[in-house]
Amino acid sequence: MTMAVKGMLGMVLRFILGVKARLPLLSAAEQTKLSWARAIRSYNEIPELYRSSFEALVGDTGKFPYAVLTPSYAGFIERAKEKLVCYLDAKVYVLEEVGGMLSSTCYPVEDISYIETGKALLQSWVKIRGTAGSGRLTTSEFKFNTVTEQLFTPMLERIRPAANRSREIDPWLERAKFDYLSSLNLKLMNYARRSVMSDEEVVYLILQPEIRAEVVRLFGHSFFRTRCSPHLSILTDRELILIQDGTGKPWGGDLKYGGVWNYIPLNKITSISLTGRQDDLLTLSIHLPGDDGLDCLFSVSNRPEIDRLLSRFEAISKERFV
CATH of the domain at 272: 2.30.29.30
Q: Is there a single domain that holds both residue 182 and residue 312? A: yes
Do 177 and 80 lie in a common domain?
no
Is residue 109 in some structural domain? yes
Residue 251 has a pLDDT of 44
The per-residue pLDDT for range 222-249, each reduced to its tens digit, is 555 677 889 999 999 999 999 999 765 5
Residue 315 shares a structural domain with residue 178? yes
Q: Give the pLDDT confidence of 25-76 residue by residue, as tens digits.
A: 556 566 667 788 999 999 999 999 999 988 888 887 778 999 999 998 665 4
- What pLDDT does residue 252 have? 44
SS3 of residue 103 by DSSP: strand
Q: How many domains does the chain divide into?
A: 2
Q: H/E element holding 216?
A: strand 211-218
Q: Residue 22 falls within a domain, yes or no?
A: no
Regarding whether 152 and 224 lie in a shared domain, the answer is no
The pLDDT score that the predictor gives to residue 24 is 56
C-beta of residue 90 within 8 angstroms of C-beta of residue 234: no
Q: Which pLDDT score is estimated for 217?
A: 64
| 106/95 Cα distance (integer angstroms) | 9
Confirm whether 23 is domain-assigned.
Answer: no
Same structural domain, 295 and 196: yes
Does 184 reside within a domain? Answer: yes
Residue 11 lies in a domain: no
**Do the bridges between strand 258-265 and strand 112-120 make them parallel or antiparallel, or are there none, so unpaired?**
antiparallel
What per-residue confidence (pLDDT) applies to 212? Answer: 75
Same domain, 204 and 266: yes
Domain edge (last residue) among 137, 159, 181:
159
Task: Give the domain-ending residue among 118, 138, 159.
Answer: 159
Half-sphere exposure of 218 (CA within 13 A, CB side): 4
- Domain co-membership, 152 together with 130: yes
Q: Are strands 202-208 and 231-236 parallel, antiparallel or unpaired?
A: antiparallel
207 neighbors 185 (Cβ within 8 angstroms): yes
Shared domain check, 198 and 133: no
CATH of the domain at 143: 2.30.29
Indicate yes or no: pTM above 0.95.
Answer: no
Q: How far apart are CA 272 and CA 287, in angstroms?
A: 6
pLDDT of residue 237: 93
Residue 178: inside a domain: yes
Low-confidence ranges of the chain (pLDDT < 50): 19, 76, 250-253
Please tell me whether residues 269 and 177 are part of one structural domain: yes
In whole angstroms, give the CA distance from residue 107 to residue 101. 20
- How high is the pLDDT of residue 253? 47
Strand pairing report for 137-145 and 38-40: unpaired
In a domain, 24, yes or no: no
Q: What angle do CA 237, 157, 122 make, to 5 degrees?
A: 115
> CA 236 → CA 54, 112, 230, 306, distances in Å?
36, 18, 20, 15
Q: Which residues contact 75 (CB under 8 A, 6 or more apart)?
A: 31, 34, 35
- 96, containing H or E segment: strand 91-98
Same domain, 155 and 221: no
**How many CA atoms within 13 Å lie on the side-chain side of 30?**
4
264 and 183 assigned to the same domain: yes
Q: How many CB atoms lie within 10 A of CB 321?
A: 5
Residues 134 and 194 placed together within one structural domain of the fold: no
Q: Is 221 helix (H, G, I), strand (E, B) or coil?
A: strand
Residue 295 within a domain? yes
Range of the domain at 60: 31-159
